[in-house]
Amino acid sequence: TIGPVGEMVVSNKVIRPDGFSRSSVLAGGEFPGPLIIGKKGDQFKLNVVNSLTDGTMHRSTSIHWHGIFQNGTNWADGAAWVTQCPIVPDNAFLYDFPVYQQAGTFWYHSHFSTQYCDGLRGAFVVYDPQDPYISMYDVDDESTVITLADWYHDPAPEHTGVIPPTANTTLINGKGRHVGGPPVDLAIINVVRGKKYRLRIVSMSCDPAFTFAIDKHTLTIIEADGEYTAPLVVDSFVIYAGQRYSAILNANQAPGNYWIRANPDIRGLPGYDNGRNSAILRYQGAPVVDPTTQFVSTRPLKETNLRALIHPTPPGRPEVGGADVNINIPHRFNGQTFRYEIGGHAWENPTVPVLLQILSQAQQPQDLLPEGSVYELPPNKIIEISLPGTGPEVGGPHPFHLHGHSFWVVRSGDSTTYNYNNPVRRDTVNTGGNDGNATIRFVTDNSGPWFLHCHIDWHLELGLAVVMAEDRQGTPAHVNPSKPPAWDQLCPIYEEENP
């Protein structure tokens, strides 16, 4: 683990998390990358050093701290071509940002092309020593992190087609078994009977959603994407790419071994398959053997049953279009261009990152590029964004993530109705399928350009993204208010790779 101050060297390494050897792009030489840990109020100083050499994968990089608001530090958001140029090989970039409002479960990943599918992803936990809520749950241990990932045997840049590649394996805490592969070790979560654990489940998926469950145990959900929820008891839940949940596990069963299951929604990979898409919950004193438990779900999560514990009611009139600014941006797959479009435009990386356009045009603002993909939002207003899928080729469900904010989910893919009274707050929402719609509300209290995109990384690469340029005039011009490097340090070298 590292943090809040540390160095992350990004390098290539041959690893075999599922028994198959391949070169990968790793932070700190590990998969998943090192767990980053800090406390609410910490100043994080994470120096990312690019030591990439393997030309079969992207050699530039950039790291996004998924879910961290970056209030006042938009420049540290890590989205290549939105807030910075990529970090080219043999260069470093210091991400120097405070986390003073937030605590919970986050993650980090490369935000350069589809690079995180090649390995650059890890969990990021912010503790709150004065947490007023966790005492309600009488938790003995809140440090267990369970990461879910898809894994591919080919380097991501080889996938140029329109149809996303099919993962060869899915991994829990970096371990899994591929079809026909060797019986390598699975991840083991050790518990003691009678204790309560806060499990932090992080989906680092490039594509599939996972159905997560632990045989014979219920899970009390208390957090979604860094926001506390009212406690909700379930026995399984679907978690989309980019999402996180905290769930309380009461280790109250007979001391033995139980399957921890994460079933991906991808064709070609078998469903729940003991010993493959799974990890093991092992009680103290249990024999070191594989579980023989079965999965029966009677209380799956309905996302519409989740409630924000804090700030439950979104501001604005409780009706569709009742915000100060209401934006309706349909998305679809364009069968002529083979690109995804939002509001009629597929995202194309601009040659100058959006943040640098804003800072360099402070005197004479021009329209921001890429044309049609940047929406300007006024400060201190209530915003509603509706993201309808316009079938039949929309290819959902798409988990949309907004940088820089949590939002109220007034409608999600699970539902055809709106909840303006007490919806969940989170940062990544499933829009549903062809005729689905996700509608979100938030307040523009965080200046800077923020990416809003599908977190299926293959879809982002195909253009399924826009930028919300919030409070253009107030965009923080200094890299760090306490120590302002020149803004052009965000782009030490321009040329190299712009995929």
Q: What residue ranges bind ligand C2O (CB under 6 A)?
A: 64, 66, 79, 109, 111, 242, 401, 403, 451, 453, 455
Q: Which residue is nearest to ligand C2O (CB)?
A: 66
C-alpha distances in Å from residue 425, one per residue of 69, 296, 317, 409: 14, 29, 17, 6
Identity of the residue, 109 or 405, whose beta carbon is nearer to ligand C2O in the bound complex: 109
Identity of the residue, 232 or 356, whose beta carbon is nearer to ligand C2O in the bound complex: 356
Shortest reach from residue 362's CB to ligand C2O, in Å: 25
Identity of the residue, 111 or 200, whose beta carbon is nearer to ligand C2O in the bound complex: 111
Identity of the residue, 178 or 401, whose beta carbon is nearer to ligand C2O in the bound complex: 401
Shortest reach from residue 422's CB to ligand C2O, in Å: 26
Shortest reach from residue 312's CB to ligand C2O, in Å: 25
Shortest reach from residue 4's CB to ligand C2O, in Å: 20
Shortest reach from residue 212's CB to ligand C2O, in Å: 19
Shortest reach from residue 111's CB to ligand C2O, in Å: 6
Identity of the residue, 401 or 441, whose beta carbon is nearer to ligand C2O in the bound complex: 401
Identity of the residue, 201 or 248, whose beta carbon is nearer to ligand C2O in the bound complex: 201
Shortest reach from residue 44's CB to ligand C2O, in Å: 17
Beta-sheet strand order (sheet of 141-151) = 169-172, 141-151, 196-203, 244-250, 219-224, 227-234
Identity of the residue, 420 or 442, whose beta carbon is nearer to ligand C2O in the bound complex: 442
Shortest reach from residue 342's CB to ligand C2O, in Å: 14
Identity of the residue, 340 or 451, whose beta carbon is nearer to ligand C2O in the bound complex: 451
Identity of the residue, 249 or 467, whose beta carbon is nearer to ligand C2O in the bound complex: 467
Shortest reach from residue 232's CB to ligand C2O, in Å: 24
Shortest reach from residue 482's CB to ligand C2O, in Å: 26
- Buried/exposed code over 295-334 (b: 16+ C-beta within 10 A; e: otherwise): beeeeebebeebbbbeeeebbbeeebebbbebeebebbbe
Identity of the residue, 111 or 398, whose beta carbon is nearer to ligand C2O in the bound complex: 111
**Nearest CA among 41, 69, 83, 48 for reference residue 406:** 69
Identity of the residue, 66 or 282, whose beta carbon is nearer to ligand C2O in the bound complex: 66
Shortest reach from residue 65's CB to ligand C2O, in Å: 9
